[in-house]
Structure 1
């Protein structure tokens, strides 16, 4: 049986991963995501592109910190903003986000109200740069595009909806493409 050797993380040299049965947490997987974040420069790329119209004068959590917190909460399965109140002093999340305490639910909710069409375009630019980084790292020899159809039920008299005999319901049947 293979065991995990003690590994020190690059983003925080004080954190060591091992399976010796010491202090346990159900959210330690977040540490690996943070390590990946640092390797590809995810948060730095977001910070470079995302410039929200922020009229706050006094704040503890930057927009980049709030976005990072929300992304890591979603990765860990905490989809609702109010989960932030339960995680405020969680030792793993505070290390991952790099703060003494996480932002509260109201802070996260106000954060989303600062987004507009321009900030969404900025996130799309950041996303494209991150995709380019990943493709450079992978050095793909070929581009594989996986075409699939899917089904989405509709109700009422939706325009362009049709009966699908495979699913036995009326709905949309779009064709989607994935970069494999």
Structure 2
């Protein structure tokens, strides 16, 4: 778990969690809760960094002393709490987080004193299971899923932006609208 402490230091240096909190606008109708939306998002990000990509990993980490210290809470949220959290997102809240992402990218480029950005655009395929909305068969990959378009900084490899697309979209479709 020591990697999370390094990321927490990075988080505080560039204001990662603070920036995300500023842009995290969810339709939250909960009257009583233990975990704030900000802490739920921070928990999920730190879990992913630590290699716990599945929501149900939260159940085994609930009282983990390292994670609770990093997140700054007595106990982490459970898998059902994380699942309910993700259901509060809509198109507007995703766009708000895209703005947070851009602000963070700008901070990192300013910190690095970057003079230029080279856009590396690519598509990828992500398999789906079940009947997920907009999932479709992709003949090239031979599976059902999504075919997102992603952009990275070609110099640093930093993630810039992604657009989730149905699995049957041709590789270059939407590139002009994406930029």
Q: Does 1:66 align with 2:5?
A: no
1:7-18 to 2 correspondence within 5 Å?
none
1:95-106 to 2 correspondence within 5 Å?
95-106=69-80
**Paired position in structure 1 for 2:4:** 30
Q: Distance in 1 between matches of 2:51 and 2:28?
A: 28
Aligned-CA RMSD value: 2.9
Q: Distance in 2 between matches of 1:64 and 1:131?
A: 20
Q: Does 1:133 align with 2:110?
A: no
Q: Distance in 2 between matches of 1:139 and 1:84?
A: 38
1:1-180 to 2 correspondence within 5 Å?
27-146=1-120, 178-179=152-153, 180=155
Q: Deviations over 1:87-113 (max 9, x none)?
A: 011111001100011001110010000
Give the TM-score taking structure 1 as reference length: 0.69
Q: Deviations over 1:8-45 (max 9, x none)?
A: xxxxxxxxxxxxxxxxxxx1211111111111101111
Give the TM-score taking structure 2 as reference length: 0.69
**Paired position in structure 2 for 1:16:** none
Question: What are the ranges of 5 or more consecutive residues in structure 2 without an aligned counterpart?
Answer: 126-136, 143-147, 156-179
Question: What are the ranges of 5 or more consecutive residues in structure 1 without an aligned counterpart?
Answer: 1-26, 153-157, 163-168
- Per the TM alignment, residue 178 of structure 1 is displaced from its structure 2 partner at its CA by 3.2
Q: Distance in 2 between matches of 1:176 and 1:67?
A: 22
